[in-house]
Amino acid sequence: MKDEPVGSGPSRFQSVLVIDDHPLYSDALASSLRHVFQDCHIETATTLNDGLQILGPDFTPDLVMLDLKLPDVTGISGFLRLRSKLPDTPILVISALTSGDVIDAVMEAGAVGFVPKEVSTQVLQTAFSELQAGRTFLPPGYQRTDHVSPHAMDVHLVSQKIAELTPQQTRIMKLICAGKPNKQIAYELSLAEATVKAHITALLRRLGVRNRTQAAVLVESASLDSMSEPKVDPGRGESQTP
């Protein structure tokens, strides 16, 4: 028997942007979205910059689904850039990183919910239904604390600085963290070495550090991988592809 859409009546989400660097997972999310939101216009992107480029007069989403681990972002800086671009659009975070600090950080930054990637289709559709009703959604078993942990606050502050970098500065910063010298960075980005030096000077100023080493340490401190071990059970029991 074919499943009927769980949504009833007109949907408040007529258009959705999915940003995830795994195309198969994006397709699965799109399928689940259509099951809840009938006649929904869905756009997908595999990087934050691609997602931002989709936005415009012809497409302003009613909901954004964002993976935190994208190739062109660090920490929650991608979320903060997207929030700056779409201050009034609900953003639902979907991530395999499910520690309490990560969830605290994105909720404090303004996310409407957090869905672990491992949850079952049923849980995912419940999340969509909660958002449709104007409520937030958090993973089963997650207990939000009254105050954000110092680590989550630090990640938020550092990620805000990283979010203020230009796309070119972000690319250069990633190569700096990979240990690449200026000459190699210039070669990989097809830039003059003097241009790379100018970009590095500017990004160091924006990050509030004095040298490349301090910049790399700062960026590492905002890495989601460095945050605490998961505190919630994302519901693996009946997990399946959404």
Q: What is the pTM of this model?
A: 0.70
pLDDT score at 186? 94
Reported as a single tens digit per residue, the pLDDT across 64-75 is: 999 988 888 887
Q: Are 220 and 175 in contact (CB under 8 A)?
A: no
Least confident of 50-59, 65-74, 164-173, 217-226: 217-226
Reported as a single tens digit per residue, the pLDDT across 142-163 is: 776 655 555 565 677 778 888 8
Reported as a single tens digit per residue, the pLDDT across 136-147 is: 999 877 776 655
Q: Is the pLDDT of residue 165 over 60?
A: yes
What is the CATH classification number for the domain harbouring 182?
A: 1.10.10.10
Residue with tokens 């964002």: 66
Q: Phi/psi of residue 145, each to 5°?
A: -85, 165
Q: Are residues 105 and 182 in the same domain?
A: no
Q: Is the pLDDT of residue 30 over 90?
A: no
pLDDT score at 190? 94
Q: If you ran DSSP here, which 8-state letter would residue 134 be given? A: T
What is the CATH classification number for the domain harbouring 26?
A: 3.40.50.2300
Radius of gyration of the chain (CA): 19
Q: Are residues 156 and 124 in the same domain?
A: no
What are the structure tokens assigned to 205, written together? Answer: 């100023």
Question: Residue 116: which domain range?
Answer: 15-132
185 CB-near residues (< 8 Å, 6+ apart): 172, 175, 176, 191, 196
Tell me the one-letter amino acid at 60.
Answer: T
Mean pLDDT of 217-223: 74
